[in-house]
Amino acid sequence: MNKNTVNAQELVEQLRTGVINRRTFIRRASALGLAPALATAVAYRVAAQDATPVATDAAEDVFASDGSPSDIGTENQTRGEGGEIRIIQYQAPTNLSAHASTGYKDFDAAQLVVEPLLGYLSDASLYGVLVEEVPSLENGLLAEDGLSVTFKLKEGLLWSDGEPVTAEDIKFTVEWVLNPDNASSSKSKYESISGVEVQDDLTAVVSFAAPNPFWFEPFTGYTLGSLYPKHVFEAEGAAEAFIINPVGTGPFKVTSFTPNDEIQYEVNENYREANKPFFSSVYLKGGGDGAASARAVLQTGEFDFAWPPGLEPDVMASLMTADALGAEVPAPPVNVERMAINHSDPNTEVDGQVSEMNTPHPAMSDPAVRRALNLAINRQLIADEFYGSGATAGVNVVNGDPSVYSPNTSWSFDSAAAAQALEDAGWVMDGDIRAKDGVKLDFVFASAVSSRRQKAQSVIKQNLEDIGMRIQLETIDSGIFFDNSVGNEQSFSKFPWDLMLYVMPQGSTRPLSYMAQWYSGPNGENVAQESNSWSGSNLCRWRNEEYDELWRSTATETDPNALIEKFIALNDMIVDNDVLVPVVLVGGGSLASNKLRMENLITGGFSGAYANIANWNLAD
């Protein structure tokens, strides 16, 4: 057990016995390294499970911070007075329907239009986006037994088409996501919900099948929480139309969208804050490469903001000169650039699909091969040379919250040990490649186009060929690689290769849904397959009943100390089984023109690059 867990136990006991109130618990637990949202959830569960009176301060809301997204300098502005702002995003968006999307590039582009009920502040605490207040025990919106939560919408909210936002939209969104016919990429994260009752136009009560310490996750943030308009989806073909032209509550609406190219947005005249947004329109240009997008902000000034360009440290340094026209927006290292390992066979077609979940990979099914992959890669060199911006060698899959960061794991770069592991398992050299029982260690390794990813791929290729593997590299345009369309045969969800390199956002301080990437579900229903239109979040096709049982147990865990340990155990099961290679813990952020106010651009590690665009304005 790690030091943070021991300290957390002491604080829990003080809270349980009434020595400290919840606000004090939150503050002290956060100081120990627990993210505020995790600390507040622990406090909530302690109160729900223990009959002992707990010290409280009714005037204080412990679940939300008292803050809101930074809005410095917006008080006296006029909506639209800033004219057009130009954004360049080298990974071009293809889909603006968040619950049908699978990658950053689409989630980010959608969040100008479609919003969640709750959001994360830069310190990871929660705030109300479309609701009056964050549910808590203090305000009575969280049930003591953890079986329900009540959301009260802000009054007067309108969709961008002028229709009122109601609690029926909350109910509809949940039902749409859970309907298997819609093949929603968010489905597995909503399955704890047993029903939604609409009490009145502004009030919805969400019920859970079991006490749910993760009640907020489906309703929070840009990857999971987007609210859909019921009235729009009632029309024939509306779901497909929404991909191109969503109706939302955000500060902007789409006027034109060419997938994999560009988007033109204009002010949503029905946005709830009369003096926002400051800019009248947004032009988002997709495509190109990270270096070109960085130059367009830092050197030519053609664009005002660049989505994280993913540049090597030396390239960034060459652009970030004393007379540069912009700067990097700080962003903490939270997400893992991983080399995913295909546990199914991408070279055997079964009932019309490759990488079929019941067809094991002839080489990756051997633990020795996966162990060799982890030992053979020089993660530190890749982090230092190609990622920079606070990047470190990857160790764990759960990051960003010290309380659930496993102390039990480690990594090493040891080519000799990797080769010996293969030798001991019977993978012996056959010419210039290792083989066993007629199976050769001959792999295809894919990634989306990105200069640093291609350089990382090259290092990994050399590392693996040094131990007797043969590696063929493939690079695919990001608009194709991350496009989950059923007809796309090069989508990362179909995983038609042996290995692939990519980042999946952790998306939450409570990463239960993130950990569903390795959860199979009953009959493998969460594995990306033809039967679910490849919408399952388990892309690597790894199936492990012990992991599934632990994930399900974590989803309903009410003891705060056990919850921390279960997250660590889930992480350790992935790392110890060499399910993937966590190559680099990625840091670094977007690039912004010096004319923009930096304080209003910073969103932290669990919100998208454009999460606070309603408050973007000019520096003094």
**pLDDT grade, residue 15 (50/70/90)?**
low
pLDDT at 43: 52
In angstroms and rounded to an integer, the radius of gyration of the C-alpha atoms of the chain is 24
Task: Give domain status of residue 313, yes or no.
Answer: no
- Arithmetic mean of pLDDT, 141-162: 97
Task: Give domain status of residue 56, yes or no.
Answer: no
User: Is 428 in the same domain as 367?
Assistant: yes
Average pLDDT along the chain: 89
pLDDT tens digits, one per residue of 61-101: 323 345 689 999 999 999 999 999 999 999 999 999 999 98
Task: Report the range out of 385-389, 400-404, 603-607 with the highest average pLDDT.
Answer: 385-389
pLDDT at 54 exceeding the cut of 50: no
pLDDT at 189: 86
User: Is 12 in the same domain as 90?
Assistant: no
Q: Residue count of the chain, please give it.
A: 620
- 378 burial via Cβ count (<10 Å: 0-12, 13-18, 19+): middle
The type of residue at 64 is A
DSSP string, 230-295: HHHHTSTTHHHHHHHS---SSSEEEEEEETTTEEEEEE-TT-SSTT--SSSEEEEEE-S-HHHHHH
What residues contact residue 16 under an 8 Å CB cut-off, 6+ apart? Answer: 46, 50, 52, 54
pLDDT at 390: 82
Structure tokens at 168: 């029926």
**pLDDT grade, residue 181 (50/70/90)?**
very high
Residue numbers of the domain that contains 457: 335-505+579-586
CA nearest to 242, candidates 164, 176, 286, 166:
176
- Arithmetic mean of pLDDT, 215-229: 93
The type of residue at 589 is G
The type of residue at 538 is N
Cα–Cα distances in Å, from 216 out to 59, 174, 316, 498?
22, 13, 37, 36
Cα–Cα distances in Å, from 520 out to 193, 357, 402, 456, 570?
18, 10, 27, 29, 14
User: Is 490 in the same domain as 366?
Assistant: yes
CB atoms within 10 A of CB 193: 20
pLDDT at 205 exceeding the cut of 60: yes
Least confident residue range of 159-168, 177-186, 240-249? 177-186
User: Is 388 in the same domain as 492?
Assistant: yes
CA nearest to 293, candidates 313, 311, 279:
311
User: Is 120 in the same domain as 260?
Assistant: yes
Identify the helix (H) or strand (E) that includes residue 40.
Answer: helix 36-49
CA separation for the pair 393, 337 (Å, rounded): 10
pLDDT at 331: 84
Structure tokens at 169: 């939209």
Which letter, b or e, does each residue of 322-335 get, where b requires 16 or more Cβ atoms within 10 Å of its Cβ?
eebbbbbbbbbbbb
What residues contact residue 470 under an 8 Å CB cut-off, 6+ apart? Answer: 432, 433, 440, 441, 442, 443
Cross-strand partners of 527: 538
Least confident residue range of 130-134, 310-314, 571-575? 310-314
Task: Give domain status of residue 136, yes or no.
Answer: yes
**pLDDT grade, residue 45 (50/70/90)?**
very low
pLDDT at 561: 84
CA separation for the pair 447, 128 (Å, rounded): 37
Structure tokens at 372: 């060799």
Identify whether 277 is preceded by a cis peptide bond (ω within 30 of 0): yes
User: Is 141 in the same domain as 91?
Assistant: yes
pLDDT tens digits, one per residue of 307-359: 999 899 999 999 999 999 999 998 888 899 999 999 999 999 999 999 999 99
pLDDT at 11: 59
pLDDT at 415 exceeding the cut of 60: yes
User: Is 188 in the same domain as 268?
Assistant: yes
pLDDT at 53 exceeding the cut of 70: no
CA separation for the pair 529, 348 (Å, rounded): 14
**pLDDT grade, residue 306 (50/70/90)?**
very high
pLDDT at 404: 85
**pLDDT grade, residue 60 (50/70/90)?**
very low
pLDDT at 406 exceeding the cut of 60: yes
pLDDT tens digits, one per residue of 455-510: 999 999 999 999 999 999 999 998 899 888 889 999 999 999 999 999 988 877 66
CATH of the domain at 367: 3.10.105.10
User: Is 24 in the same domain as 120?
Assistant: no
Task: Give domain status of residue 93, yes or no.
Answer: yes
pLDDT at 598: 95
User: Is 260 in the same domain as 381?
Assistant: no
Task: Give domain status of residue 320, yes or no.
Answer: no
Pairing of strands 203-208, 262-267: unpaired
**pLDDT grade, residue 9 (50/70/90)?**
low
**pLDDT grade, residue 59 (50/70/90)?**
very low
User: Is 142 in the same domain as 224?
Assistant: yes
CATH of the domain at 90: 3.40.190.10
- Arithmetic mean of pLDDT, 278-299: 97
pLDDT at 1: 39
Q: What SS3 string covers 52-117?
A: CCCECCCCCCCCECCCCCCCCCCCCCCCCCCCEEEEEECCCCCCCCHHHCCCHHHHHHHCCCCCEC
pLDDT at 155 exceeding the cut of 90: yes
pLDDT at 441 exceeding the cut of 50: yes
CA separation for the pair 397, 405 (Å, rounded): 9
Task: Give domain status of residue 541, yes or no.
Answer: no
Least confident residue range of 63-67, 292-296, 538-542? 63-67
Answer yes or no: are the C-beta atoms of 115 and 226 closer than 8 Å: yes
pLDDT at 245: 97
pLDDT tens digits, one per residue of 248-274: 999 999 999 999 999 999 999 999 999
Answer yes or no: are the C-beta atoms of 597 and 574 closer than 8 Å: no
Distance of CA 481 to the CA centre of its chain: 17
pLDDT tens digits, one per residue of 20-30: 555 455 555 54
The total number of structural domains that make up the chain: 3
pLDDT at 40 exceeding the cut of 60: no
**When comparing pLDDT for 102 and 175, which is higher?**
175
User: Is 385 in the same domain as 465?
Assistant: yes
User: Is 216 in the same domain as 92?
Assistant: yes
Identify the helix (H) or strand (E) that includes residue 2.
Answer: none
Structure tokens at 608: 């998208």
**pLDDT grade, residue 597 (50/70/90)?**
very high
Task: Give domain status of residue 112, yes or no.
Answer: yes
Q: What is the DSSP letter of 212?
A: -
pLDDT at 10: 58
pLDDT at 67: 64
Pairing of strands 203-208, 193-200: antiparallel
pLDDT at 49: 42
Task: Give domain status of residue 264, yes or no.
Answer: yes
